[in-house]
Amino acid sequence: MATFWNRLSRLIGLSSPEEDEALERALRLDFRRRCALFRQLVNSNNRALEVMSDMEEMLRGGKPFGLPQVRGMCAQATANVFKMIRCLEGMTDGRYNALYDRLRAVQQEIGRHVEGGRDPVPGPLVLGLDAIGAADAGEVGPKMANLGELGRIGLDVPSGFVITASGFRRFFEHASLSAEIEGIIRDRQVDRLDARYALSSTIQELIVAAPLPDDLVQAIEAQCQALAETYGDEVRLAVRSSALGEDLPDASFAGQYRTELGVRLDQVTRSYKEVVASKYGVAAMTYRWNRGIPDEGMAVCVGCLPMVDASSGGVVYTRDPVHPSDRRLVIHAVPGLPTAVVDGNVQADRYLVSRDEPMRIEESHVPRKQTMAQLDAMEGVVHVPLQDSEAEAPALAPQVIIDLAEKTLAVERHFGQPQDVEWVVDRQGTLIFLQARPMTGHMPVVPEPQDDPGLPLLLEGGEPASPGAACGPVFVVRKNADAFSFPEGAVLVAAQALPRWAPLLPRASAVVAETGSAAGHLANVAREFDVPAVFGLENAVSVLDGNQMITVDGTHGRIFSGCAEELLASQAGKGPDFMLGSPVMNTLTSVARHIVPLTLLDPESPDFRPDFCRTLHDITRFCHEKSVGELFAADSGPVRKRLAKQLRYNGRPLKYWLIDLGNGFTNPPQDRYIDFENIASRPLHVLWEGMTAQEWGGPPVLDVKGFASIINQAASNRDIEPAMASSFEVKNYFMITDTFLSLQSRFGFHFCTLEALIGDVTDENYASFRFKGGAADLDRRILRAELVADLLEEHGFRTELRQDALLARAEALPRVELEEKLRILGFVMIHTKQLDMVMKNRDMAIVYEQRLRRDLASMIAKSRQ
Amino acid sequence: MVKPISVLLVDDEVDLLDFLSKRLARRGFLVQTANNGRQALAAISASKPDVVILDMLMPGGMDGLATLGEIRRLFPHLEVVLLTAHASTEAALRGMELGAYDYMVKPVAIGELVLKIEEASGARGPMTSGTRTGNRYDA
């Protein structure tokens, strides 16, 4: 089939005026079609580049994001690049259709990183604890694998079983939970805490209501039956999580998942679902979000262990987490079950034990303990008040402390790194280990705050729970709803050091609580996020409430009134950047390699071909270059010869070409020039008024350099940035109608777009302006973009900034108002040209900004007269 | 008086349909809704909307991509924007290859959706009127 151009070529050579006119009409029609495609292509190009800028920003770290977000960005970039190829296909009769294959190849590379992750081969749905060792972490989670390992090295551990990662996947697959949950999460804004609260309950309800598959229920029941035969029907279980990925370096996951205590055998399946659902608890979701840990792939394995009737219990750290240089072991102990220590709702004994043989107790801190947690045959776990004598007594006898320290040190030796170990002593005096995990990584190294900051001391004697010093206004949290109003940078003050406050830690400057210890979950998370914390500080709420500003010294357990600058000055600057090195960041880094880099630099190289496009950026570059060539290149024949008319102003030809898309000229031009007086496009007239309102004080303006150089004059220097090279002669084309104006102007990779529609229908009116790039280095280009954005915002434009890329829009305004906006754009385009080059000097930049602001105001005032 | 752009929203989530249709109606669009692919095809036959916004994941044997295929077969000039909560480059590419006008990821900003609908319907700017690819004009 003959193409449009074939048909046109048959027309060329005809010379009668009617035929000539017919040819011009046909050319104009086809040009309009190509313009429309070009415009779509540019829009898609902009969107794809925006995604790339966002990715670059995310790659610098500092801001949390999730895997669904990465996946969404990849998909958007892919769709936009596809659209560009489709537009280019329409503009060039399919000349570059090989690009589709390149896109497919790049997409497969991206998909491999971000959409891969096929589930591993299914294993057993449940496993007995006696069959488990450290090597089984992939199936039972690191916590249960370590526990099995402790049994293997001869320590006492509970018996019991684990519902495995395969069991978890079987459950989710059976109830189609994965897709449903991902959909729910994707629909909401997970980056907001209040949204997370709503999300959390929706998802947890969904999980608890979902049916378990029969084979999983049967496997669990068989294990329960075996426990009943050993311990009797009345045995109570602890049902606790052991999630995959909990062994990630530097991520403690302390207290993120639910543990159900005192569970009867007939309640195990229900408790299992509750623990699994806690994967989507607010604390856990917030934690993963802030640490860049993806939701998916994180199977929750669940251990079901007969509970020990404990006389005492607690936590041992084989290194002091608050003073890591101290080599002593730190033991936290309470009478009864250890849950009180990790939940942070009571005070605990603290013993410091020397590491070297013979081990000895070097310090004992024995506070008064109000209650203890106990297993009750009917009620499960209950908190009972302690008699005076019990409340004051140490929770452990000295020989038990030494025995515990020796065995825990053996655990450290076995695993080869400092350990965080949970234990109980049963009524028969047997020491039983419940959990061991490495504590490497959540031991922050911060400088010691100085002794006397010279401020009024408000409280002291608290237990240092997370080292360092910070100041901020006091904010007392009493109920969950307080979390919504918690201000960034405040000091979180609570009656109890409960894990439920953990989601606020990334926003808190410090934490203070009346109960709790360094061994609790909240302390763990505080140390992880480098937030100083002091726990076990009696009367903290009543003393601190109402204080404007306090300084928390987490190293020494003290609180000062006011902000102790000296104390803070000794602190390391910002907290750790958790995104760097996180699993989600690693995924982004892998996919970005196929999206962001530009390797196709030189359009004049023989390698500037579809099959040399290696990244999505390469494809966008190729499409943009070829589409510009198609419309505007010097050799684009009929367009240039027939349609584009050079602008003549006061009899002098300027380097602007105008293409009439309909009613743009008052009289048809007789030669290759169009005189300014013959332009009927209202938007162009108005823009021109802004452009010519005032001489530019700097380098020459409105000279023969052309309109594109207004934005980016120095870009023609190819030595500055290779990506700027372009094979096309730079021309500045306005496409106009009586009510419409479009300017596409580019230098190599950089370009600017201005569009305006000013008609009688207010709702349809708009002006948009977009530019990116410049000749200076990135910092200066960003400064210039910020300055332009500021100026335009001051005049009612909506702006979006991404590094040096600026988009400004004004829309749905009556004609007169929009005309003023267009005048402002004309002015700003002229008077900010080359401004990036002077941005090296901030003082100079301020002078320019003030001058621009003043001149712009006076231009507006004049035009209103 | 400018004729309003008519939009058909197809999604099995009734809450989302309700939310989006109210917002779009407030912006002057003529909005219809359908809960599944079959309903969508019937609605298109009956009222010939300018643009279809189509969810990709729908139950009942006819998901978004299958619906898209049918729309392209029966109404080749109708623009379809895909909307999904489960973004993937594979699905994006397949949808675009099947002839979707564009592909958007939930949650979608209403302003962005409006722009996309206007763009797809050819309403924004005189240069875009009725043009999508070269094929229509080469015939």
B131 lies in some domain: no
Q: In degrees, to the nearest 5, what angle opens at C-alpha A130 toward C-alphas A126 and A132?
A: 65
**What CATH code is carried by the domain that includes residue B66?**
3.40.50.2300
Q: What is the C-alpha separation between A673 and A648, in angstroms, rounded?
A: 6
pLDDT of the residue at A116: 64
Closest-CA residue to A543 (of A481, A462, A453, A469): A462
> Which residues have CB under 8 Å from A713's CB, separation 6+?
A699, A705, A775, A833, A834
Q: What is the C-alpha separation between A611 and A608, in angstroms, rounded?
A: 8
Q: Judging by beta carbons within 10 Å of its beta carbon (0-12, 13-18, 19+), is residue A363 exposed, middle or buried?
A: exposed
This model of the complex carries an ipTM of 0.90
B129 lies in some domain: no
Question: In which residue ranges of chain A is pLDDT below 50?
Answer: 1-2, 5, 8-14, 118, 442, 572-574, 634, 699-729, 747-750
Q: CB-based contact (8 Å) between B106 and chain A?
A: yes
By Cβ distance, the residue of A30, A187, A661 closest to B85 is: A187
Omega within 30 of 0 (cis) for the link into A438: no
pLDDT of the residue at A567: 64
B132 lies in some domain: no
- A216: tokens are 């999983």
Q: What is the C-alpha separation between B125 and A240, in angstroms, rounded?
A: 61
Q: What are the pLDDT digits (tens) for A312-340?
A: 999 999 988 888 788 899 999 999 998 87
Domain, as residue range, for B84: 6-123
B1 lies in some domain: no
Mutate to test the interface with B, among A1, A96, A186 (most CBs of B within 10 A): A186
- A residues 308..347 contacting B (CB < 8 A): none
| Nearest residue in chain B measured CA to CA from A94 | B134
pLDDT of the residue at A99: 97
- Taken in order of first residue, the domains within chain A and their CATH numbers are 22-116+595-632 (no CATH), 122-309 (3.30.1490.20), 310-400+414-426 (3.30.470.20), 457-569 (3.50.30.10), 644-864 (no CATH)
Q: CB-based contact (8 Å) between A76 and chain B?
A: yes
B88 lies in some domain: yes
- A residues 121..180 contacting B (CB < 8 A): 179
- Asked whether the beta carbons of residue A755 and residue B128 sit closer than 8 angstroms, the reply is no
CB–CB of A315/A343 below 8 Å? no
- Asked whether the beta carbons of residue B126 and residue A114 sit closer than 8 angstroms, the reply is no
B139 lies in some domain: no
Give the total number of structural domains in chain B.
1
B112 lies in some domain: yes
pLDDT of the residue at A701: 35
- Asked whether the beta carbons of residue B96 and residue A83 sit closer than 8 angstroms, the reply is yes
Q: What is the C-alpha separation between A678 and A666, in angstroms, rounded?
A: 5
Q: What is the C-alpha separation between A130 and B13, in angstroms, rounded?
A: 47
pLDDT of the residue at A548: 78
Alpha-carbon distances of A370 from A309, A434, A514, A836, rounded to whole Å: 20, 24, 13, 67
Q: What is the C-alpha separation between A736 and A730, in angstroms, rounded?
A: 19
Q: Could you report the average pLDDT of every consecutive run of 10 residues in chain B (139 residues)?
A: 85 86 92 94 95 86 89 94 89 94 88 89 52 29
Q: CB-based contact (8 Å) between B38 and chain A?
A: no
E strand segments, A514-651:
533-535, 550-553, 558-561, 645-649
CA torsion sign, A118 to A123 to A124 to A127?
negative
B73 lies in some domain: yes
CB atoms within 10 A of CB A406: 14
pLDDT of the residue at A64: 78
